[in-house]
């Protein structure tokens, strides 16, 4: 069966300008960090991708190491692109990253020119692409000179393998240094991807959020739902099939303290008063004030994507609601 996108897909999604660039990104973007590996159901991956595109999500965020195993998310996305979405390539923003461990040996991770450009070539091959729209340095390298890493990003653009570049997980100070190097090279540095949520506000205290806005680069935040804590999933205990229940990955039982659970319940009450889910409230909170370009969501089924996008149906938080949320988070 041939996939035909919803003809109304662009009418309801909100698109935000990415910093001072000409690039527009959907307020909600879809990430392939989880649930797109070899062990996951391919038909479900297709349904999630189609659902996202039908809802106006045009930005699909990947990385070389997403899976598991590393590389499998890009391969699966490449299959979907080839089978179903190839004709819509110019309506899509496809991003990938390199920085975390991808292959054995001294050239398989971090930020050397050798690793970054080899990884990008591999990513393009896995996805069946000639170029990606955004290529990121996934994390700062403490040992490689920042100039080398930024020169590699610049080379990716000049070689026609990326239209724009970005960085992820860099502090404000590191971002400032990267910006100055790329500005001198005239490289289209348009975006930063940090973690950010109600429970993880380091980009505020570090000054990164305000600095990015000051210099005119966009911010796309990952883990806006705090790995699932900012949902109703844990209100009545820890499900066995949850990330905490499995005790694998980035969440463990120690993350769900009595204090944290009390905050989750109080935030959920605000969401219910607004006629929203807790996840929807968490998404519009990170997008408040217009300082974040896009919130990056993950999903294990299409219904989650639909729910998250519906957050944009009621996107404004009153001053009283913001103050109430602050009080809860500081309690």
pLDDT of 216? 98
In a domain, 25, yes or no: yes
Cα gap 294→49, rounded to integer Å: 17
**Has residue 209 been placed in a domain?**
yes
pLDDT recorded at residue 143: 98
- The pLDDT value recorded for residue 305 is 98
Q: What pLDDT shows up at residue 322?
A: 98
64-92 per-position pLDDT tens digit? 999 999 999 999 999 999 999 999 999 99
Which among 94, 21, 6, 19 is positioned nearest to 56, based on CA atoms?
Answer: 6
Burial class (CB in 10 A: 0-12, 13-18, 19+), 47: middle
Q: Which DSSP helix (H) or strand (E) runs through 245?
A: helix 243-246
Q: How far is CA 274 from CA 13, 228, 268, 277, 279, in A?
A: 20, 20, 10, 9, 12
Residue 176 maps to a domain: yes
How many structural domains does the chain have?
Answer: 1
Which residues are CB-neighbours of 201 under 8 A, at least 6 positions away? none
Q: What is the pLDDT of residue 153?
A: 99
**CATH code of residue 33:** 3.20.20.100
User: Does the structure show a pLDDT above 70 at 245?
Assistant: no
Q: What region does 164 belong to: left with phi over 0, alpha with psi -120 to 50, or beta?
A: beta
Give the pLDDT of residue 300: 94
Residue 321 lies in a domain: no
Domain encompassing residue 122: 9-236+278-315
Domain contains 36: yes
Q: How confident is the model at residue 253 (pLDDT cuts 50, 70, 90)?
A: low
pTM score: 0.95
Q: Which two tokens stand for residue 198?
A: 């109600």
DSSP 84: I
How far apart (Å, rounded) are the C-alpha atoms in residues 228 and 243?
Answer: 8
Task: Round the average pLDDT of the chain to a whole number and report it.
Answer: 95
Q: Is residue 81 part of a domain?
A: yes
Distances from the Cα of 331 to the Cα of 125, 252, 259, 263, 272, angstroms: 49, 22, 8, 8, 20
Q: Which has the closest alpha carbon to 100: 60, 73, 70, 68?
A: 70
Confidence tier at 256 by pLDDT (50, 70, 90): confident
Is residue 200 situated within a structural domain? Answer: yes
pLDDT for residue 6 is more than 80 = yes
According to the model, what pLDDT value does residue 175 have?
98
Residue range 111-147, pLDDT digits in tens: 999 999 999 999 999 999 999 999 999 999 999 999 9
Residue 200: pLDDT band by 50, 70, 90 thresholds? Answer: very high
Backbone angles phi, psi at 131, to 5 degrees: -155, 160
Question: Is 3 a domain residue?
Answer: no
Question: Residue 235's pLDDT is what?
Answer: 85
- pLDDT for the residue numbered 234: 82
267 touches 281 (CB < 8 A) = yes
Burial class (CB in 10 A: 0-12, 13-18, 19+), 28: buried
How confident is the model over 36-48, as a mean pLDDT?
Answer: 97
């Amino acid at each position: 069966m041939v996939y035909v996108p919803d003809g109304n897909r662009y009418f309801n999604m909100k698109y935000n300008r990415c910093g001072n660039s000409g690039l527009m990104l959907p307020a909600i973007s879809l990430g392939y960090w989880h649930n797109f590996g070899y062990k996951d159901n391919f038909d479900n991956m297709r349904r999630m991708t189609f659902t996202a595109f039908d809802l106006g999500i045009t930005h699909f965020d990947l990385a070389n190491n997403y899976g598991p195993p590393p590389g499998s998310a890009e391969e699966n996305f490449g299959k979907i692109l080839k089978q179903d979405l190839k004709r819509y390539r110019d309506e899509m923003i496809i991003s990938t990253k390199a920085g975390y461990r991808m292959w054995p040996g001294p050239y398989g991770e971090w930020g050397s020119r050798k690793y970054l450009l080899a990884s990008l070539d591999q990513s393009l091959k896995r996805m069946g692409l000639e170029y990606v729209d955004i290529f990121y340095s996934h994390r700062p390298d403490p040992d490689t000179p920042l100039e080398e890493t930024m020169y590699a990003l610049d080379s990716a653009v000049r070689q026609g393998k990326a239209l724009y570049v970005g960085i992820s997980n860099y502090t404000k100070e590191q971002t400032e240094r990267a910006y100055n190097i790329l500005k001198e090279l005239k490289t289209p540095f348009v975006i930063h991807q940090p973690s950010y949520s109600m429970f993880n506000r380091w980009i505020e205290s570090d000054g990164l959020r305000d600095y990015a806005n000051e210099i005119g680069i966009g911010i796309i935040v990952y883990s806006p739902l705090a790995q699932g804590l900012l949902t109703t999933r844990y209100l009545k205990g820890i499900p066995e099939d949850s990330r905490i229940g499995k005790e694998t990955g980035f969440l463990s039982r120690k993350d769900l303290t009595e204090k944290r659970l009390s905050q989750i319940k109080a935030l959920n009450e605000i969401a219910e008063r607004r006629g929203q889910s807790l996840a929807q409230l968490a998404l519009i909170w990170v997008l408040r004030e217009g300082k974040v370009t896009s919130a990056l969501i993950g999903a294990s089924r299409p219904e989650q994507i639909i729910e998250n996008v519906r957050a944009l149906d009621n996107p404004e938080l009153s001053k009283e609601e913001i103050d109430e949320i602050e009080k809860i988070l500081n309690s």
